[in-house]
Chains A and B, each alone.
Chain A
Amino acid sequence: MGTSALITMIVVQVTVTAITGYFFYKVLTTPPKPEPDSFSENDDEPR
């Protein structure tokens, strides 16, 4: 592979992976909103 192709591939793929990972990490670490929220798995009682 040529240097410019290698650099483009690494920069684009690492950037896209990092942004994807960042947003998904934020989703996982953001505390849930107070009940009632949209999600049934964290309900005290089944709906």
Chain B
Amino acid sequence: MANTSESWGSRVGLILAMAGNAVGLGNFLRFPVKAVENGGGTFIIPYLVSFLLMGIPLLWVEWGMGRYGGRYGDHSTPFILDNMTKKRLWKYFGVFGIFTNIGVMAYYTYIESWTLTYTLKSLKGDFLGMDIGKVGETFDQYVDISAGVNFPTWALLAFVITLVINIWVLSKGLSGGIEKVAKIAMPLLIGFGAFLAIMAITMGDTGKCEDCNSHIGLNFLWEPSYDSLNNPKVWLEAAGQIFFTLSVGMGTIQCYASYVKKRDDIALNAMSAGWMNGFVEIVLGASVVIPIAVGYLGLDWVKENAGFMMAFKTMPYLFDQFASILPVLAGVAWFGLLFFAGITSSLAMGTPWMGFVQDEFKWSRNKSAFTLGVFVFFLALPTIFFFEYGVFDEYDYWTGTVSLVVFALAEVILFSWVFGVNQGWDEINYGADMKVPNIYKYIIKYVTPIFILVIFVASLVQPKNNEWAKAFQGDWELDPSSIIGKIMNKGITHNTAYFSDVQEAEKSGVVESIEQDDRNHIVNISNVQTFYKTKRGHVVKKEPEDGGEAFDSTVADKLFVKKSAELTISKGDQIEEGQVYAKGSFINRIFFLDMSRLLLALVFIGLAAMVRRAQVLRERRA
């Protein structure tokens, strides 16, 4: 049994830390975007059903597992799982509970550093007077979007500062570090969110365009429409959102709960933290980005462009439309709340490693925190330097998406069927300050595992463009973003070798001009695309459901080619998709994607080897 001097300072502190773990950037960015993509008001129904049938059960399961493991002195998932069964292999499923956190922390801390920089930029008024294109360019320059290796000096420095802050807080322990941050960050986050939500709701008609009205955005988000409830895609997206928003399947909840003593409540604590996250997401998250964006850019623009990067590429422009000093205040509130949402989550991601090495290898708190910092720093570098090659997204997919589902499925099966639902039910109810409804015993045993299994299988074989009806009729082509599609690199159709002597165009167009900067040839190309003018006068790429007038328009694009390569095209040439446009020595995107997967696999294997070593040390000590 391991000894630990860690403990929570207060019950409120524990709940705020646990809620802070769950509340992340996704509450303000992912949830409203998913709602927009899945029919607005319709989305809330499968979302709430998923919360009741999958989210709440998983919260109780993870709190229960954590407190149970803590009783035996274990504070990380490999040995928490190991305590629950005599079958020793289960602890290797527990490796996901450390792996996921380190992998996600690597790129998440990088995003967190953007929010820190953008808070300072907003405070300085850097975005005042910029148009939307310039705001987007500022971000591209900040992360150094160009051909080949990215070397964003300021972004790298901000990342190091953010990581050092995280590591310093972690080195102060649970009550002295994480809990203190949560007690400051969570009230501020809610305050900033409430300020922005009030701004959005009271904004109304801005007169910027025919339908530039924040109430139209709110109407779209909340107008119930039951047509798409029979669409599996909407259900899968809603269930996926519940996963990410509650931070279940990560191992952080078990880790935090492992410091709760047996006689103390977990049932009410889990509900309080879980619903606090729901409040931030449904009440605040839904009331900020979409209404403000619709208020200044119109609903058609938002339907077409809603995405994660709006936070950095669009919001500063929107805040600049506010009057007087409000642009600065709104910018600081927005990026400040994202920073607080980020840091309370990244601190939670650090704790499974801290618990593991302190328990098993008897490392001091400072040594544990320092090694975590070094580990995360080196793991994050590929996402920074090879951002343009998609390494960042690859980390997010494998560690922040697939691993969560795999681990959640494993843990709920272990809890319900191996440990046994009767014993598990007793664990959840022991010391409970609320009556847990009996129906949840059956939901945990049958419904939740099936729910997660369906999500996993659906992610594995997701049909192209999420067209499930077509797939069930026999036309089942895998989507490039399905797990199998990803492994097969189905999304890559050109430049499919790791190394090549030529570059093939991924888009067609006409070469308008060729420029050069320090590192690249910059080929400006244009191509003709079909657009639609909506009934409200907006121009969109997808044909609107209520009809629109089609017209062709020329779109400008850029190709970056490293300077050492020789261009085989010149001004005025027409480039077709797949045509060779440069000769030289190239390392293609597919190489970086496969290498990042290999790196993550090696990290997993390395952590599994550490767990094996810990097991040997335990046996020697026994």
Contact = CB atoms under 8 A, between A and B. Distances in A.
B451 interface: no
A30 B275 CA distance: 18
Main SS of the interface on chain B?
helix
Contacts of B13: 39, 41
Contacts of A17: 279, 283
A21 B261 CA distance: 25
A23 B44 contact: no
Interface string B1-37: 0000101111111110000000000000000000000
Contacts of B91: none
Contacts of B8: 38-40
Interface residues of B, number: 42
Contacts, number: 103
Interface in B192-241: 215-216, 218-224
A38 B12 contact: no
A4 B260 CA distance: 44
B7 A27 contact: no
Contacts of B621: none
B175 A41 contact: yes
Given A5-B41, A5-B224, A30 B433 contact: yes
B265 A30 contact: yes
Contact of A5 (B11, B14, B223, B268): B223
B222 A20 contact: no
A28 B433 CA distance: 11
B264 A6 contact: no
A23 B273 CA distance: 9
Given A5-B218, A8-B44, A13-B283, A26 B434 contact: yes
B271 interface: yes
A31 B272 CA distance: 16
A38 B264 contact: yes
Interface of B: 5, 7-15, 41, 44, 48, 175, 215-216, 218-224, 259-261, 263-265, 268-269, 271-272, 275-276, 278-279, 282-283, 431, 433-434
Given A9-B221, A20-B279, A24-B15, 7 more contacts: A24-B276, A27-B433, A30-B268, A32-B11, A40-B9, A41-B10, A47-B5
20 contacts: A5-B219, A5-B223, A8-B224, A9-B222, A12-B48, A16-B275, A17-B283, A20-B276, A20-B278, A23-B275, A24-B272, A36-B261, A38-B8, A38-B14, A38-B261, A39-B9, A40-B9, A40-B175, A41-B9, A42-B10
